[in-house]
Amino acid sequence: MSAASTSGRRAAPCTSAVTAASRSSSSRALCPACSACGRTWRLEAVARVTVELPSALAAVTGGVRTLEVEGETLAAALADLARKLPQLAVHLYDESGGFRQHVLCFHNETNTRWLDGAAVVLAEGDTIRFLQAVSGG
């Protein structure tokens, strides 16, 4: 008795989809995991955006000042940032969950304080930039 069957097809490596990832009404539902490697994929569009952090936070992040996060909205991207760099939370957010008074968050070139920050829809290639506000006299 052999330990493994050689009559089956060889496992194929995962490759990127050649066609659009949408189903017609006559398509059967498929499991969203590649059987060859077990990776999952998503049908919804999730934007990859760049986060730029101020140099004042470099010591907290181990020198990381720029990284990529994913999210459909600003809130989702910031949640992804918190998962990737949880040590940032105490420096960016106050006890109520809002940005600290001296933390400025920009979506592209727009200050998010003047927007409904959580609902801002992101596009591929957008930038989220954090700055430390300076005050005093």
Q: pLDDT digits over 63-85, tens only?
A: 999 999 999 999 999 999 999 99
CB 74 within 8 A of CB 107: yes
- Give tens-digit pLDDT for 87-130: 999 999 999 988 999 999 999 999 998 887 778 999 999 999 99
- Give tens-digit pLDDT for 9-18: 555 555 555 5
For the ranges 3-7, 60-64, 68-72, the lowest mean pLDDT is seen at: 3-7
pLDDT, residue 13, reads 56
pLDDT, residue 115, reads 81
The more confidently predicted of residues 82 and 20 is 82
Q: How far apart are CA 101 and CA 79, in angstroms?
A: 19
31: pLDDT confidence band, cut at 50, 70 and 90?
Answer: very low
Give 68-122 as a 3 state SS string: EEEECEHHHHHHHHHHHCHHHHHHHECCCCCECCCEEEEECCEEHHHCCHHHCEC
CA end-to-end distance (rounded Å), the chain: 85
**Strands of 47-52's sheet in order across:** 66-71, 47-52, 127-132, 103-107, 110-111
Fold of the domain spanning 47-132 = Ubiquitin-like (UB roll) (3.10.20)
pLDDT, residue 113, reads 86
pLDDT, residue 15, reads 53
- Sorted by where each begins, the domain ranges of the chain are 47-132
